[in-house]
Chains A and B, each alone.
Chain A
Amino acid sequence: MNTRNLMIALFAIAVIAQLAVPGWLLARHETVLRNGEAYRFECMPVDPVDLLRGRFVALRFSEMQADGIPDLDHGIDELFVTFETGEDGFAQVAGAFADPPEDSPHLKIGKYAWRSLANGEIHIDLPFDRFYMDENVAPEAEAAMRRRGRGAREAYLEVRILDGRAVPVELYINGKPASELRGQLN
Chain B
Amino acid sequence: MTMHPVRWLHEELPKLVQGGILDPAAADRLKQHYGPPPRSPWKTGAMVLLGTLGSMLLGGGIILLFAHNWEALTRPTKAALAFALLIMAQLFAGFAVLKKRDSAAWTEGAAVFLSGAVVASIALIAQTYQIVWEIDQILLAWVLLMAPLVYALLSRMTAALVWVGSTWWLFAKMEIRDDLVYGLAYLALAALAVPFMVQQFRSHRDEGRTLLLNWTAGLALALGAIRIGVESGDPWRLVLSGLFGLLFLFGVSLEIDGESGAWWRAPFRSIGAIGLTVMLFLFTFREMWGDDMGGTETSDVLTVFLIGIALCALALFGGYRLIRDQRYHQAALLLTPALALIGLLAGRFTNTPSIMAVLANLAVLAVGLTLCIHGFQHHKLGTVNGGLVLLLAVFLARFMDIDLTFLVRGVAFMVVGAGFLAVNGWLYQRSRKEVAS
Contacts and interface: CB of A to CB of B under 8 A. Distances in A.
A interacts with B: yes
Interface string A128-146: 1111111101000000000
Given A11-B94, A25-B122, A25-B125, A55 B86 contact: no
Interface of A: 4, 7-8, 10-11, 13-15, 17-19, 21-23, 25-26, 29-30, 33, 50-56, 127-135, 137, 166-169, 179, 182
A84 B56 CA distance: 48
A54 B68 contact: yes
B299 to A, nearest CB: 18
A29 B127 contact: no
B167 interface: no
Contact of B86 (A22, A33, A134): A22
Interface of B, secondary structure class, is: helix
B151 A7 contact: yes
Contacts, number: 115
B135 A50 contact: yes
A67 to B, nearest CB: 25
Contact of B123 (A29, A53, A169): A53
Q: Classify chain B: how many residues form its interface, as a range.
A: 35 or more
Nearest to B139: A52
Nearest to A30: B129
A21 B130 contact: no
B119 to A, nearest CB: 7
Nearest to A4: B101
Interface of B: 63, 66-71, 79, 82-83, 86-87, 90, 93-94, 97-98, 101, 114, 118-119, 121-132, 135, 138, 141, 144-145, 148-149, 151-154
Nearest to B126: A53
A54 B97 CA distance: 32
A75 to B, nearest CB: 15
17 contacts: A10-B151, A17-B144, A18-B86, A18-B121, A18-B145, A22-B125, A23-B83, A25-B125, A29-B129, A29-B130, A52-B67, A52-B138, A53-B138, A54-B68, A130-B130, A131-B130, A133-B71
A10 to B, nearest CB: 4
Nearest to A128: B132
B90 A15 contact: yes
Contacts of A129: 132
Contacts of B129: 25-26, 29-30, 33, 167
